[in-house]
């Protein structure tokens, strides 16, 4: 491999603050807001022009079940008061039994009916509400800024380096929160981690959300009475080379719980005629999109081809889509599994399945576990210990969201908008308490779960 040498660069420190949160997705928003509300001078760094990550810029504007208490509920309540939330299960009777519906129970587990409640919301308004709350509690924003490096001395992060319109700049802080979802701060600071899925199988594939507008749902549902999965139309299109094959994939964990893209996956959203669609990358490729730009590029190129094929198929073959049109492709893919930091405690699947409790429990979580003997979904309630928020080797780095310390097998149980934000809240409160107490996060005693 060839190398180039760059001259040493003096990078200006443009700001010094108490808490620096890197990443403006749900976890980062939770961390920044709770840190500021707990009295710490707080800055959040986000690479896009608005916060929310996958749930706003990524178009994944759906939450399953009731939102957790705390910030997720507050955000959805504000959106609901403005008329920017609805439940498609109430709007479209029979949706839960539609085999094209993304959350169709039998596609996930035989005999399971699927979730009884969904909340779909306007992603742009959700970003505005998040910014409104941050402004209310005086969170400082650094938007359109890409985190690229850290300055570490004796196991302590002194500053992070960002790049944007003003070239390279540094931001100094006392406590830092990695809410990137990829473990970027962990990697750049020299904290230990394992690569996505490297011990337990292939990584969860990334996905790109897209949407269509002016869909005639009633016409679609009427046709599905005779061809529920669109099998007749799909076979016709496949025979002409107009639709790629779908791949049925089952994770080896959780009793064979569904994962992947075995068919068209859709869900009505907030506005009449709008449909959200899922387009994941090929699972068997084992792409490591958190660490390899070539994998990220391969996934994005292939998924966009998949989207074009599905779009053309829907418009040409499927009743209800004659006048529909593409109304958006998310500007970035959701990397559903990034690096796994090795924290002071690594959450395992056994911790979850055995419903373990911990003395330093920071958050109590209820989640789906696996298919039970009757073909339904078993739920479990378990603790996430504060130690899983603490990166090894770095004294002032907290982990949040998908970046907390957990193994591959535990990841599916600690994902989603509400959980990620609640994990961020823990990190933000811990960061502010550390600053106030003048101790490192590792020396902070966590007393009770949120």
Bridge partners (DSSP) listed for residue 280 = 207
Q: Going by DSSP bridges, is the β-strand pair 325-329/13-22 parallel, antiparallel, or unpaired?
A: unpaired
Classify strands 193-194 and 361-371 as parallel, antiparallel or unpaired: unpaired
| Residue extents of the structural domains in the chain | 13-78+122-195+338-443, 207-329
Whether domain 13-78+122-195+338-443 has CATH 3.40.50.20: no
Query: What pLDDT tens digit does each residue of the chain (450 aa) get?
Result: 899 898 888 999 999 999 999 999 999 999 999 999 999 999 999 999 999 999 999 999 999 888 888 999 999 999 999 999 999 999 998 898 999 998 887 776 667 778 889 999 999 999 999 999 999 999 999 999 999 999 999 999 999 999 998 889 999 999 999 999 999 999 999 999 999 876 656 788 889 999 999 999 999 999 999 999 999 999 999 899 888 777 655 555 444 444 555 568 899 999 999 999 999 888 778 889 999 999 999 999 999 998 999 999 999 999 999 999 999 999 989 998 999 999 999 999 999 999 999 999 999 998 877 655 555 678 899 999 999 999 999 999 999 999 999 998 898 888 888 999 999 999 999 999 999 999 999 999 998 888
CA distances to 30, 61, 111, 311 from 52, rounded to whole Å, are: 10, 10, 34, 27
Beta strand segments in 73-124, E: 85-86, 118-121
Rg (CA), the chain: 22
Tokens of 166: 């003003």
Q: Give the number of C-alpha atoms closer than 13 A to the C-alpha of residue 358, restricted to the C-beta side.
A: 21
pTM of the model: 0.94
Could you tell me which residues are beta bridge partners of residue 63? 119
């Amino acid at each position: 491999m060839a190398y180039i040498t760059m001259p040493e660069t003096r990078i200006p420190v443009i700001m010094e603050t108490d808490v620096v949160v890197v990443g403006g997705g749900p976890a980062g928003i939770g961390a920044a807001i709770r840190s500021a509300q707990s009295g710490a001078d707080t800055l959040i760094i986000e690479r896009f022009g608005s916060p929310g990550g996958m749930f706003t810029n990524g178009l994944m504007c759906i939450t399953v079940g009731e939102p957790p208490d705390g910030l997720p509920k507050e955000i959805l309540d504000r959106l609901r008061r403005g008329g920017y939330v609805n439940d498609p299960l109430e709007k479209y009777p029979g949706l839960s039994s539609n085999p094209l519906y993304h959350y169709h129970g039998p596609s996930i587990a035989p005999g399971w009916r699927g979730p009884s409640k969904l909340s779909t919301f306007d992603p742009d308004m959700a970003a505005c509400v998040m910014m409104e709350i941050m402004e209310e509690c005086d969170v400082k924003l650094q938007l359109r800024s890409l985190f690229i490096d850290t300055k570490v001395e004796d196991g302590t992060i002194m500053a992070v380096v960002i790049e944007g319109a003003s070239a390279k700049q540094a931001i100094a802080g006392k406590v830092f929160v990695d809410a990137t979802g990829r473990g970027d701060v962990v990697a750049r600071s020299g904290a230990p981690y394992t690569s996505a899925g490297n011990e337990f199988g292939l990584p969860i594939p990334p996905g790109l959300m897209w949407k269509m507008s002016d869909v005639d749902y009633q016409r679609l549902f009427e046709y599905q009475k005779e061809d529920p999965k669109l099998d007749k139309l799909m076979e016709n299109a496949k025979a002409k080379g107009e639709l790629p094959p779908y791949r049925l994939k089952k994770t080896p964990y959780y009793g064979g719980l569904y994962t992947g893209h075995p068919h068209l996956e859709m869900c009505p959203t907030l506005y009449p005629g709008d449909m959200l669609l899922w387009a994941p990358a090929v699972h068997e490729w084992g792409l490591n999109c958190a660490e390899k730009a070539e994998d990220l590029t391969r996934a994005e190129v292939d998924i966009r081809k998949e989207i074009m094929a599905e779009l053309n198929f829907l418009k040409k073959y499927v009743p209800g889509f004659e006048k529909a049109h593409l109304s958006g492709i998310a500007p970035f893919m959701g990397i559903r599994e990034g690096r796994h930091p090795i924290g002071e405690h690594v959450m395992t699947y056994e911790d979850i399945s055995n419903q373990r409790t911990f003395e330093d429990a920071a958050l109590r979580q209820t989640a789906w576990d696996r298919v039970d003997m009757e073909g339904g979904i078993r739920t479990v309630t378990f603790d996430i210990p504060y130690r899983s928020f603490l990166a090894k080797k770095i004294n002032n780095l907290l982990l949040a969201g998908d970046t907390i310390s957990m193994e591959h097998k535990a990841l599916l149980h600690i994902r989603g908008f509400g959980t990620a934000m609640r994990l961020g809240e823990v990190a933000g409160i811990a960061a502010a308490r550390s600053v106030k107490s003048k101790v490192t996060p590792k020396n902070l005693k966590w007393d009770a779960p949120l």
